Amino acid sequence: MATDAPRSLAAELPNFQSIPATVVETDPVISYLPPADNLVQAGGFEQDEMWWDHWQVSDAGVVTATSDVWQTGAQAVRLGAACSYPCLGAQEHLSGPRLEMVEIEADSQGVLHMLVEEEGDMYYRYRTPDGIWSTPVVVVQDLNPYYPDLIIDENDVLHLVFASNNGAVEAVFYTSFDGSWAPLQEVGNDVEGRLRGFDVLADGSIHILYQNHTEHVPMYVQRLPDGQWLPPQRFMSALTWDVASMYVSEDGMRHFFYTKGSGPSQQLMYRTLDPAGVWSTGVEPLPNNWGDQQVPMLLLESNNGELHLITINHMLEVYHFWRRFDGVWQAPTQLEDVFWSRPPKLVEDKLGAIHAVYVPDWFNGSYSIAMQRWTRTQGWTPRIVVDNNAYPASSAAMGKDGVLHIAWNDNNIPSYTTVAPAGVNRVNTLAHTLFIPTEVASPTLAFTALLAQDVIGDGTEFSVIVASENYSETTTIQPAGNTWQHEWLDLASFVGEGVTVTFQLTQQSTDPALVVFLDQVSLGSAYPDLSAQLFMPPSVTPGEGFSVNITVQNHGMIMAGQVVLTYTLPSPMTFITATVPPVQQGNTLVWNLSNLPAESLPVEITLELMVPISLTQGLAVNHNLVVTTTSAEGNLGNNLAAFEQFIVFRMFLPLLRSLAGPGVG
């Protein structure tokens, strides 16, 4: 659930039993959820099918009770239904270069970036969130770039690395794009074939693994966060060519896979290099009991720390290894198809499923682009053909919205599609009719929702409609990522009226599928929720000045009116100054803070106090702070703050020395 402060909502009406808030402990805050059942009958969907007696469901839409996917109880409600995998969208044919090789990545704004290679040149173009492709521009010319790799960092900066071996230049080149392309940098020479690994971390460090042409050994090169490139170094010695793969975790841990030995005794190995440059003490062999040598092709670390490795043996059989987050390798699984030339592209979706996009069997004339999906419970799906006319150039990227983008060469025509469209035009509604009595102070509708794969700005959206006979309000709920979010709607405009509350999911067939989970729906009175805090040194000495920090905040979702802050200055402290001047009445300091808005930022005040130097004995003093408002509050427990402070004396013991010497007197 997305929340940044404690919140409270309660309902107390005639003939209704007072229901305490449901408290859910989260890290690092505690969130107060509204009552599960009051004006909205069975609003929390916790009574199995009984809630159908109180809600009206659209005939055309898909609205079902489902097992709860959060800690709110046994049941939740799902609006909408995604189509069956793979849910392919309409295929687009693009003009421009014909994609002898292609790489795509999606940034946080929904922009898709594409790099393609044709006849020794590399071109760049992008696709806006509303589907408009830019005109291709040349990025690299006459260098014959070989198997480029593209990464977008958390700041949406593009990082491009590629090998060039056109006879005149055999090197690895790097550049980046942040509104304009940076000059090419040569970062490693004597290159053999394609790159083996490329990663960019949040700290700005860049990691590249490539194949050395002369010795046929993998070489590793790193750029530090300050922009300095370190000299290339051997990954390990005595390795045959085409046998290494690399992934770098966000903590700087480098993971390497490679083969050891030769012939039938060749074995796949795993080793790490930590951020300090220290190799793991042992080499970890992977399960390899089927008697076939394996060559690592592609490596992916999932969001929960699992490692996924795709390998191919000399018979062109492809296997999938995965290492659980607890370090235990699972038995390898053979995929049903053969990959050739380029390895598959692996991407992970929001739910932890792994998608492989590849061109199988093209050397046998199959010429198709295919995809498969892997989950922990079901393993790999059968192969699904995306297009039967595919040159062996393809790429895939997972957008932040959960949409999978695929690009490939369709008989020399650049092509593009997506995975996870809605499939059909559909409106799903869940409605409830009720009356809001005038006795309800600050009526508020509250609920939790989980929106999966929503794309802001497209025709597929989730909204809440509150309508009376003469007036209606529609609120579109924006996604907060793949997490539960707590939403509040002010219904003050409808006091004393009958209203219909409608949760509505609108799906467009050409847009990504959207499924909404609903839970903890309730309607009741909302209150402000003020809190006061004190911070100061635990002990002070006579004659010492010190600071007292005061923090006041409204965590509630409605305004707190005429907020007054009162601080009682303990005797014998002396008030010197404050960052916000108070009204002083004896030993009491008062601040009139006017109104604090809903979910306000903290109001911070710093006091400077002095301990009189005339004190002759230690004592404990109490600092007291209280915040009040003219608005009714539902939670008064955090309106008070107290701090016990000690006034201490430092003792200086005299040093006595006998003039008669040791052992005398």
The CA-CA-CA angle for residues 39, 43, 49, to 5°, reads 130
Is the domain of 515 the same as that of 534? no
- DSSP structure class, residue 22: E
Q: Give the C-alpha separation, 102 to 107, whole Å.
A: 17
Average predicted confidence (pLDDT) for the chain: 78
* Residue 392 within a domain: no
Q: In what order do the strands lie in the sheet with 101-106?
A: 101-106, 112-118, 121-127, 137-140
Is the domain of 514 the same as that of 566? no
Structural domain boundaries, residue 73: 32-83+425-524
Is the domain of 519 the same as that of 537? no
Q: Give the C-alpha separation, 190 to 163, whole Å.
A: 10
Residue 169 scores a pLDDT above 80: no
Burial state string for 186-211 with b = 16 or more CB within 10 A and e = fewer than 16: ebbebbbebbbbbbbbeeebbbbbbb
CB atoms within 10 A of CB 451: 24
Per-residue confidence band for 572, with pLDDT thresholds at 50, 70 and 90? confident
Q: Which of 477, 499, 524 is the last residue of a domain?
A: 524
* Residue 292 within a domain: no
Q: Which of 32, 26, 17 is nearest to 529 (CA)?
A: 32
Which position has the higher pLDDT, 162 or 287? Answer: 162
Is the bond leading into 86 cis (omega within 30 degrees of zero)? yes
Q: Which of 509, 524, 539 is the last residue of a domain?
A: 524
- In the numeric block, which tokens belong to residue 273? 């290099």
CATH number of residue 604's parent domain: 2.60.40.290
The CA-CA-CA angle for residues 420, 44, 4, to 5°, reads 75
Lowest model confidence (mean pLDDT) among 148-157, 406-415, 486-495, 512-521 = 512-521
Is the domain of 464 the same as that of 568? no
Per-residue confidence band for 59, with pLDDT thresholds at 50, 70 and 90? low
Are 190 and 170 contacting, i.e. CB atoms less than 8 angstroms apart? yes
Are 195 and 161 contacting, i.e. CB atoms less than 8 angstroms apart? yes
Q: Tokens 């920090």 map to which residue?
A: 549
Where in 441-587 does DSSP place strands (E)?
Answer: 443-452, 461-467, 472-476, 485-490, 498-507, 515-526, 530-535, 539-540, 545-554, 560-568, 574-578, 583-585
107 φ/ψ angles, rounded to the nearest 5 degrees: -95, -175
Q: What is the pLDDT of residue 453?
A: 62
Q: Please give the tally of structural domains in the chain.
A: 2
User: What is the longest distance spanned by two Cα atoms in the chain?
Assistant: 110
Residue 7 scores a pLDDT above 60: no
Residue 307's DSSP bridge partners are: 301, 323
Which position has the higher pLDDT, 662 or 533? Answer: 533
Q: In what order do the strands lie in the sheet with 307-312?
A: 295-301, 307-312, 318-323, 333-334
Lowest model confidence (mean pLDDT) among 7-16, 64-73, 542-551 = 7-16
* Residue 353 within a domain: no
pLDDT, one tens digit per residue, over 198-222 is 889 888 899 998 877 777 777 888 9
* Residue 459 within a domain: yes
Is the domain of 466 the same as that of 552? no
Q: What is the pLDDT of residue 455?
A: 64
Q: What end-to-end distance do the CA atoms of the chain give, in Å?
A: 76
Is the domain of 492 the same as that of 448? yes
* Residue 120 within a domain: no
53 φ/ψ angles, rounded to the nearest 5 degrees: -70, -15
Residue 324 scores a pLDDT above 90: no
Is the domain of 643 the same as that of 535? yes
At residue 52, the 3 state secondary structure works out as helix
CATH number of residue 462's parent domain: 2.60.120.260
* Residue 468 within a domain: yes
Is the domain of 638 the same as that of 550? yes
Where in 353-412 does DSSP place strands (E)?
Answer: 354-358, 369-375, 379-380, 384-387, 391-398, 404-410
Q: Give the C-alpha separation, 534 to 548, whole Å.
A: 7
Q: What residues have CB less than 8 Å from 4, skipping those under 6 apart?
A: 29, 599
Is the domain of 597 the same as that of 504? no
138, 312, 360, 408 from 394: Cα distances, Å? 20, 18, 11, 4
CB atoms within 10 A of CB 178: 12
Q: Which of 484, 507, 524 is the last residue of a domain?
A: 524
Per-residue confidence band for 658, with pLDDT thresholds at 50, 70 and 90? low
Are 557 and 629 contacting, i.e. CB atoms less than 8 angstroms apart? no
* Residue 10 within a domain: no
Is the domain of 484 the same as that of 571? no
pTM of the model: 0.63
72 φ/ψ angles, rounded to the nearest 5 degrees: -95, -5
pLDDT, one tens digit per residue, over 425-445 is 888 888 888 888 887 778 888
Which position has the higher pLDDT, 19 or 424? Answer: 424
Is the domain of 505 the same as that of 568? no
Q: Give the C-alpha separation, 621 to 226, whole Å.
A: 52
Are 422 and 460 contacting, i.e. CB atoms less than 8 angstroms apart? yes
Which position has the higher pLDDT, 517 or 161? Answer: 161
Is the domain of 566 the same as that of 519? no
* Residue 476 within a domain: yes
